[in-house]
Structure 1
Amino acid sequence: MTVAQWDGRSLAADLAYVKRVTGLSARRGVLAPLRTVTITAAGGVGTLTHYNYDAGVVVRAQVTGDLAATTVDFPELAAAVKAAGRGVVELERVGNRLVVAGPDGRSSVAVFAKGGDVPVMPTVGGTAVLVADTGVFATAVAAVAPAAGDDATLPMLTGVYLDADDAGVVSLATTDRFRLAATELATAAPADLATPLLVPAKVLAAAAARVAKRDGSVSVYADGGYVRISGPDSDVVVRLIDAQFPRWRNLLPAAGDDRMRARIAAADLARRLKKLSVFSVRVTMAAAGLRVEAGDLETGQVSTTFEVAAHDVDERAVGMVAGYNPEYLASLLACAPGDVELTWSPDAQSRRPMTIEFGGVRHLLMPVRLPDAAAVAA
């Protein structure tokens, strides 16, 4: 009989993280072995492990006591930990049951009887292809993740594309055809990426969000069609997306391209856009600000209008009108910590893709058609 003590709040958070990484919350009707989690404690370290052939995660925490490796149903364990409360939670193996006891209650979970059917997580070792500070890594991933697609029929658009140039400088990019995001990742040493990686965006974003709250470094390993993201207290293993990512670099403006420019406070505009429930907004550039109009633009019925201050506005941009999806625009602006530079081409009067630039991050947002676009161009 073995028993270990966990912090209840920490254990609940770690179980929620396992669910976010592996998609367990959406896996209804899945085979029982793919719904399990293995929990163990030894030497002051408690470990949660789950793998379902697509993605796996190992989470480590400081604990007291010991617990032999015990495999149980994940939803049942999560429910038992929630019922136990947020104080110290004791986990004790008693025969074929795992007893979970805390300040709010005591319950037990059946030990999974067919342990041999539980899939074994692949080993992804060797030398790390890149190493970066946790905060730097998290910031870079968070800057590109919103532009990734979620259409399973277009898998090449659901990942974060990572590659490295001859100098070992790493680029990250995502696109869903309407948005494009790209940035460079500052690594501890030149990266050694033999081939580009296309990592599922939801998994990478979840892993990055966790390491953002920890000090230290994150290392990425790639081997045999899998990638491992190793942080201070967790490891994530996921199958790479086997698809061709679009040629994205030529979609962004070149450094020497002539651009009309303006600067705005990203957070203010993103906050206002999130309140709208429309599919498109009309944006008009003025010398002192950006005016946004929302409503039924097809019939000219504008129901909401607001302005956001702008500065350093190129005089050529004054009077410019373009249409954008407010949800998409807000998702890109929300990544910025402060002011952003908006740029447009002085050409293509009826269609104006917008670039959003800040701190080495570049976003591109395709416009939507406005009913009066031709008249504006004239």
Structure 2
Amino acid sequence: MKFRVDRDAFADAVAWTARALPARPAAPVLAGMRVEAAEDGLRLSGFDYEVSTRARVDADIEETGEVLVSGRLLAEIARSLPAEPVELHTDAARALLTCGSARFTLLTLPLEDYPVLPEMPGSAGSVPADRFAAAVRQVAPAAGRDDTLPMLTGVHLAFRGDALTLAATDRYRVAVRRMWWRPEDPALSASALVPARTLHDFARSLPSGGNVGVALSTLPLGEAAKSSRGEGMIGFDTGSRRTTSRLIDSDFIDYEPRFPAEAAARAEVPVAAMAEAVRRVALVADRSTPLRLSFTEGEVVLEAGSGDDAQAAEALSVAYRGEPMRVAFAPGYFLDGLGGVGTETAWLDFTLPTKPVVVSEVPAEEGADPDFRYLVMPLRVS
């Protein structure tokens, strides 16, 4: 095997592929990255039995072949290479990498022990890459991180016709984002619970522009194929990169009833100014210290700290309708909600000080439903 490839393209593809490699592999070969010089270019792949990644890079192929090398080591080498073309060829049980005056000799792993990568499921449709990446960024922070509750560590994708809804929760908050997508079958009705970490890693590396193909395993025959949970696997394809992931085998919670049907009070706040004020006031708050917000007509006062502790307060002009309201949040949870809002101002809808608060985007059209909603439980304060 022998090829020559652009350094930046090679380093970028290696770094992306390495994201699927386990930190503590169950078998030594799972720490490997397969490097294949094929007639259509250079192919890189990684697999840990849960997530697979595959990338293709244009390269000058002098001799086809494939080799398995330590993926993390290759990624570290690739990002430190000088700005020169990269050459790699194999010699017996070694892979020799050259870039400018830099030379590296890598030991190879037994390719025959490497597992076969899963095939992509059947295509379900496509979604604009930029909008999909933004939607994942809005929702993924609300997913849980407790692996003993797998259902809460995922992002739920619900496909209904040309509507795609992403949702995540850790029990204390729920983030929901609705968006348009292009299904292969307009009658498709399916859902998938995808590990949040996997989805976030894929979304943050998406190139700007273009579309992402979504491939979903469904029940194989008849009408049941239109109403499955997408059991088994989901895949995403950008053309030069693709990834597959096993789905979390669990039903997602019915989150819609948790959103209040009506609000007793509503504030419309400037997102950027509110987020900056929260960060400043929260400087005196530790993990157990709540951020207190007192809403009255035309103003909100943010406070943190009390008694002998450090204290901070700041007032901000807002539009407010309803009786005065005083609520308290964990600062990080409240900031995650504001960070998901894609409009300049956000709605905060209240019922009672001890009941969930809904942070949402302000729709462009009056009377329309917001595309992003974030429900967060307030903290009880004396």
Q: Structure 2-normalised TM-score? A: 0.85
Matched, 1:365 2:373: no
**1:278 match:** 286
Give the drift of 1:43: 4.2
Give the drift of 1:272: 4.2
Worse-superposed segment, 136-145 or 265-274 = 265-274
Partners of 2:274 and 2:86 in 1: CA distance: 44
**2:41 match:** 45
Worse-superposed segment, 100-109 or 81-90 = 81-90
Matches within 5 A, 1:218-297: 218-223=212-217, 225-254=232-261, 257-274=262-279, 276=283, 277-279=285-287, 280-295=290-305, 297=306
Matched, 1:89 2:86: yes
Q: CA RMSD in A?
A: 2.3
Deviations 1:40-94 (A, max 9, x none): 2334632210011011100122323345221111122123323433432222222
Partners of 1:33 and 1:244 in 2: CA distance: 33
2:45 partner SS: strand
Percent of aligned pairs sharing the same letter: 25
**2:165 match:** 171
**1:305 match:** 313
Partners of 2:121 and 2:171 in 1: CA distance: 34
Counterpart of 1:231 in structure 2: which amino acid?
T
Counterpart of 1:76 in structure 2: which amino acid?
L
Give the drift of 1:172: 1.3
Partners of 1:286 and 1:23 in 2: CA distance: 52
**1:355 match:** 358
Question: How many equivalent pairs are there?
Answer: 354
Partners of 2:186 and 2:199 in 1: CA distance: 18
Partners of 2:29 and 2:257 in 1: CA distance: 45
**2:226 match:** none
Deviations 1:175-227 (A, max 9, x none): 0111111121201246554532101111112212222x232211111226011
Partners of 1:80 and 1:209 in 2: CA distance: 22
- Structure-2 change in CA distance of 1:29 and 1:225 (3 Å): closer
Matched, 1:183 2:188: no
Matched, 1:156 2:151: yes
Give the drift of 1:322: 0.6
Counterpart of 2:244 in structure 1: which amino acid?
V
Give the drift of 1:163: 1.6
Partners of 1:104 and 1:368 in 2: CA distance: 60
- Structure-2 change in CA distance of 1:290 and 1:203 (3 Å): same
Is the CA contact 2:151–2:248 (under 8 Å) kept in the aligned structure 1?
A: yes
Is the CA contact 1:48–1:60 (under 8 Å) kept in the aligned structure 2?
A: yes
2:340 partner SS: coil
Partners of 2:249 and 2:25 in 1: CA distance: 26
**1:206 match:** 201
Worse-superposed segment, 267-276 or 213-222 = 267-276
Is the CA contact 1:91–1:98 (under 8 Å) kept in the aligned structure 2?
A: yes
Worse-superposed segment, 100-109 or 236-245 = 100-109
**1:72 match:** 69
Partners of 1:125 and 1:196 in 2: CA distance: 14
**1:13 match:** 12
Partners of 2:89 and 2:174 in 1: CA distance: 49
**1:376 match:** none
Partners of 1:142 and 1:115 in 2: CA distance: 36
Counterpart of 1:79 in structure 2: which amino acid?
E
1:228 partner SS: strand
Partners of 2:215 and 2:267 in 1: CA distance: 40
Partners of 1:141 and 1:325 in 2: CA distance: 22
Partners of 1:77 and 1:327 in 2: CA distance: 36
Give the drift of 1:302: 5.2
Partners of 1:334 and 1:246 in 2: CA distance: 24
Counterpart of 1:270 in structure 2: which amino acid?
A
**2:138 match:** 143
Give the drift of 1:157: 0.6
**1:36 match:** 32
Deviations 1:78-128 (A, max 9, x none): 23323433432222222321122223621111121x2122121111332x2
1:132 partner SS: strand
Partners of 1:332 and 1:17 in 2: CA distance: 28
Is the CA contact 1:228–1:235 (under 8 Å) kept in the aligned structure 2?
A: yes
Give the drift of 1:247: 1.0
**1:2 match:** 2
Give the drift of 1:363: 0.6
